[in-house]
A = this chain, B = another copy of it.
Amino acid sequence: MQFELTREYIDNLKEIIEEQNEAKAIALMDELHPADIAEIYDELSVDEAKFLYLLLDGDTAADVLVELEDDDRDRFLKVLPVEVIAKKFIDKMDSDDAADVIGGLSDEQQEEILSHIDDIEQAGDIVDLLHYDEDTAGGLMGKELVMVNENWTVLTCLRELSRQAEDIDEIYYVYVVDDDGILKGTLSLKEMVLSSTSAKISNIYQPDAMSVHTDENDEEVARIMEKYDLVALPVIDSIGRLMGRITIDDVVDVIRDEAEKDYQMASGISEDVEANDSIWLQTRARLPWLLIGLVGGILAALVISTHEEELKLTTSLAFFIPLITAMAGNVGVQSSAIIVQGIASNSLGFESTFSRLLRELGGAFINGLTCSALLFLWNFFNEGDIALTMTVSIALFVVIIFAAIAGTIIPLMLHKAKVDPALATGPFITTLNDIVGLFIYLAIGGYFYSVL
């Protein structure tokens, strides 16, 4: 029932395209969902994709365009005539998808496409939507919804529904407004079907509808829809007029992007890149973090160089430098990941920073003690030098405690200062912990070698 893309399938398709066999290509495309066709396009050259694309009927073509990855789509739109884009596709899309599709184009291209759209209402909706920031409720919402007046009866609603519903794929709720267009509440289709046709809407609708303002942040929209298990959420302007609605499929992308963004940040990747992006994009996203690491490494070299004399006398002090820095990094990353995820999923609650820190310290104490004890045993039986054995174990314990504190406090502080706490994870916190860890290690080493 579901389509699975295989390499054989692609090879077969490429052959058909090379033969310019339109009948076979149409027959193949006919069985597929637009999302599957979009997946296939990712594997084809622009010219191959264009050949297939011009064979699709209008509705499917519009749906495929929506499903394409942003950069594939922009590349693709460049090879299609503006009039075709406007009349064949944009006209047939949901307003929010249309705004997304042309939002990536230049102002001139946008104007040219809009001037070719015959349906004035659709063009107006798109222009309205283009005004909103991409990452706000206004940027996520679509204009397609069924709006009914609170003073109507169910019968009037059903008539209005069949009039308004033609343009809309799925209807989950009908939105109830007053004479001024102010959102009053919602009415589920189920409720409408189960009520008598003469019932008045004002008597059967759900009055306290959850809604958001057009300028609400998209991550907050996702949080609300996820928390309250909503499939659609109405969007209102500052005086409460119904402006559009957001559906769950748009928000699923926001949720995935948000979770992936934190992971990418923690991995030292600063832009939203994917495995298939160009070398240049990937380099630009990664190099800044590597440079931070490079500066950190140079600072670490300076820290060690101040202890050159001790190192000359006891070279074995250098053996455990990687162990100390690696453990400092690992503990810091663990602690900060927990905080960053807690902030992202809004599950931190009201525990104070102090009590959170105490708990983190408790964990660090157990982990630090375990690791230090094991390391002590190893060195005690394998290393003759008691000063080194003491130094490494005690330093490891202190470093683990410090790294846990830094990993907990820094993201919390950034969050309070309204900076994305994910910035604090990955290379940044690793680098800081490396330097401080070395400092602690060498200081403790200096002490033990002077007294033992």
A residues sitting closer than 8 Å to B (CB atoms) are 1-2, 5, 7, 10, 33, 35, 39, 42-43, 69, 158, 161-162, 165, 168, 170-172, 188-190, 192-194, 208, 210-211, 224, 226-229, 231, 248-249, 252, 255-256, 259-260, 262-264, 266-269, 273-276, 279, 282-283, 286-287, 289-291, 293-294, 296-298, 300-302, 304-305, 308, 311-312, 315-316, 318-327, 329-331, 333-334, 336-339, 341-342, 345, 347-351, 356, 359, 362-363, 366-367, 370-371, 374-375, 378, 425-427, 430-431, 434, 438
Contact = CB atoms under 8 A, between A and B. Distances in A.
Contact of A339 (B1, B275, B323): B275
Which 3 A-B pairs have CB atoms at the shortest separation, nearest pair first?
A297-B323, A259-B259, A275-B342
A286 to B, nearest CB: 5
Nearest to A220: B2
Contacts of A300: 319, 322-323, 326
B315 A283 contact: no
B269 A322 contact: no
Name the residue among A291, A296, A319 with the largest chain B CB count within 10 angstroms.
Answer: A319
Given A1-B211, A325-B322, A274 B338 contact: yes
Given A194-B162, A268-B334, A321-B318, A347 B294 contact: no
A48 to B, nearest CB: 14
Main secondary structure of the interface of A (DSSP, over half): helix
Given A252-B248, A438-B322, A350 B171 contact: no
A333 B193 contact: no
